[in-house]
Structure 1
Amino acid sequence: MSIVYLNGTYMPIEDAHVSPLDRGFLFGDGIYEVIPSYGGKMVGFGPHIDRMIEGLGALEIELNWSHDQWRDLCQELINRNPKSQIGLYLHVTRGADIKRHHPYPKGVSPTVFAMPTDIPPAPIPERDKVDGYKVTTMQDERWKRCNIKSISLLGNVMHYQKGYSQGSGEVLLFNDKNELTECGACNAYIVKNGTMITPILDHQILPGITRLIALGVLQSDGSIAVEERTVTREEVFDADEIWISSSSKELAPVTHIDGQLVGDGKPGPVWEKAAKLYSAGKFNY
């Protein structure tokens, strides 16, 4: 039985309840984060909380928690849910008003919820031990503030489900200019002639923490060239390698796109080198 946190109290998940008038339930009015932890050590705690604070500010949700308050909550969840690896799901909504109406209400206390989630063991960064993902491409039809990690994920869910129903483990999304944005639940990358290339951050793309860590690790090491720039659909299909990343997947290779092989259909050597560097440096952020 999982132990969760809700508005100041730790309890079994079966005992956690929120009001049907909570604006998270009614409007998807909230922000969330998922912080992976392995052996009690969190990955990217500081950047995750920085992003949450920035998202809360963008939505004008007033919750003046410090990093230390969030760290204490996360550590307590780890202590109360002893597993070798768990994701720490943090969820803040604007709270519950006395009626349903669109404008931000005054004098409402945010709802703060946190729970452990199952995540797989840390991926093994070796080419012969990883199968790679199959992805499907489609036009990005989500809203224009994808840089905010909102709990309003219906657009992502619909894209992901369409790919899932076609046997894919992710989707690669392109805007109306046929430029790569991201995935249903991941950031995206290509490799060409040994250089890793990823779309530059803007309103179309969530600033992923795994992306942040990976770029930092690769730029610090210097053995793999890194570019942040526009990536066209043509470049994606001509890429030597394609990767995706998320907190639970870390850096993951793509081996099939729209039923076609990426490269030779196996995880590539640049991915293997980058994944090993990421694995060695991920706890430093």
Structure 2
Amino acid sequence: MTQVYLNGRFINQQDAMVSVMDRGFMFADGAYEVIPAFYRVPFRIDQHLARLDFSLSSIRIENPLTHEQWRGVFDQLLAENAGEHQSIYLQVTRGVAADRNHLWPKGLVPTVLVMTSPLKMRLDESLSDIQGITAMTTEDLRWKRCDIKAIALLPNVLHRQRAEEAGADEAILINEQGQVTEGSSSNVFIVKGNEIATPPKTMPILGGITRDLVIELLQAGTQYKLSERMLLQSELRNADEVWITSSTKEICPVTMLDSQPVGNGNVGPVWHDIAARYQQYKLQLAADYRKNPPI
């Protein structure tokens, strides 16, 4: 039976219930994180918890748990639930109010939910079987504080649904200035010649944990020029390679954009290089986990 953590208790998922007056239900008033775990050990947990701190402070919710307490919750769920590799979902809302009112009353106790699910994840350096995905561009309809990982995801849902109905795997969002922001649930990179470019972390863009790791790997010593700058839609269309990144998608090559091939229509050599470095990073961590399991 799958276990979840809800407001201080570990219970069966089917028994987990929250009040209809929870402000997360009424107003999408809360924040969340998604954290991959390899061999039941959370990946880049410090970075995820730091981003959670930022999101909660930005919407004026005090973090209800310390980092040590979050780790303890994750460890117990990962140990009890099925899957050597799992995805952790955590959500914190402002809590349950007595009535529906845009103003929040003082003294609310945040609602805390953590659950996990099995995660299909590559942990080897063989990338020859990777096929590119398709993407479409669409107008960015989201709010101006996308740097907050808020649970109010209706625009993202609509973008992703539109892509699905158009036969695409992801929607890449374009703002009113004709600039690339990000995907419906991912960050965006392009390759042109020797340059790898991605939009900078500003308020319209979520600071992706995988995005940051890709940048770390590029800065660790590669032959490529890294640029964090705004990208025009025309640059996206004319790129040699396009990638999207996220904690669950990792680094995913886009080979078709708006029904047109990206570059030559194949998974590109720069992607193969950086994706291999990413896999090597994970494999080294996995080896360290097996050699010295966290206590």
For residue 243 of structure 1, give the secondary structure of its aligned residue in structure 2.
Answer: strand
For residue 88 of structure 1, give the secondary structure of its aligned residue in structure 2.
Answer: strand
For residue 221 of structure 1, give the secondary structure of its aligned residue in structure 2.
Answer: coil
* Alignment partners' CA distance in 2, 1:223 and 1:39: 33
For residue 61 of structure 1, give the secondary structure of its aligned residue in structure 2.
Answer: coil
* Other-structure match for 1:245: 245
1:98 aligns with 2:93: no
1:137 aligns with 2:137: yes
Paired residue type of 2:245: S
Q: What is the deviation of 1:41?
A: 2.4
* Alignment partners' CA distance in 2, 1:181 and 1:92: 26
The TM-score normalised by the length of structure 2 is 0.93
Q: What is the deviation of 1:182?
A: 0.1
Q: What is the deviation of 1:104?
A: 2.0
Paired residue type of 1:9: R
Q: 1:127–1:268: 8 Å Cα contact kept in structure 2?
A: no
Q: 2:83–2:118: 8 Å Cα contact kept in structure 1?
A: no
- Distance change >3 Å, CA 125–CA 156, structure 1 → 2: farther
* Other-structure match for 2:27: 27
* Other-structure match for 1:81: 81
For residue 275 of structure 1, give the secondary structure of its aligned residue in structure 2.
Answer: helix
1:1-285 mapped onto 2 (5 Å cutoff): 1-122=1-122, 126=126, 128-282=128-282, 283=285
Q: 1:123–1:249: 8 Å Cα contact kept in structure 2?
A: no
Percent identity (aligned)? 39
* Alignment partners' CA distance in 2, 1:62 and 1:37: 25
For residues 169-226 of structure 1, the C-alpha deviation after alignment (integer angstroms, 9 at most, x for no partner) is 1011110111000000000010010221000111111100111111112211333321
Q: How many residues align?
A: 284
Q: What is the deviation of 1:265?
A: 1.3
* Alignment partners' CA distance in 1, 2:28 and 2:253: 32
The TM-score normalised by the length of structure 1 is 0.96
Paired residue type of 1:51: R
Q: What is the deviation of 1:134?
A: 0.2
* Alignment partners' CA distance in 2, 1:42 and 1:218: 23
* Alignment partners' CA distance in 2, 1:260 and 1:21: 47
Paired residue type of 1:276: A
Greater CA drift, 116-125 or 146-155: 116-125
Q: 2:214–2:278: 8 Å Cα contact kept in structure 1?
A: yes
Q: 1:91–1:114: 8 Å Cα contact kept in structure 2?
A: yes
Greater CA drift, 73-82 or 59-68: 59-68
For residues 51-105 of structure 1, the C-alpha deviation after alignment (integer angstroms, 9 at most, x for no partner) is 0011100111122422111111111111011312110001100000111100122
* Alignment partners' CA distance in 1, 2:242 and 2:128: 17
Q: 2:28–2:151: 8 Å Cα contact kept in structure 1?
A: yes
* Alignment partners' CA distance in 2, 1:123 and 1:229: 31
For residue 143 of structure 1, give the secondary structure of its aligned residue in structure 2.
Answer: coil
- Unaligned 5+ segments in structure 2 are 287-295
Q: Which has the higher contact order (CA 8 A, sep 6+)?
A: 1
Greater CA drift, 112-121 or 254-263: 112-121
* Alignment partners' CA distance in 2, 1:125 and 1:186: 23
- Distance change >3 Å, CA 126–CA 47, structure 1 → 2: same
* Alignment partners' CA distance in 1, 2:24 and 2:117: 19
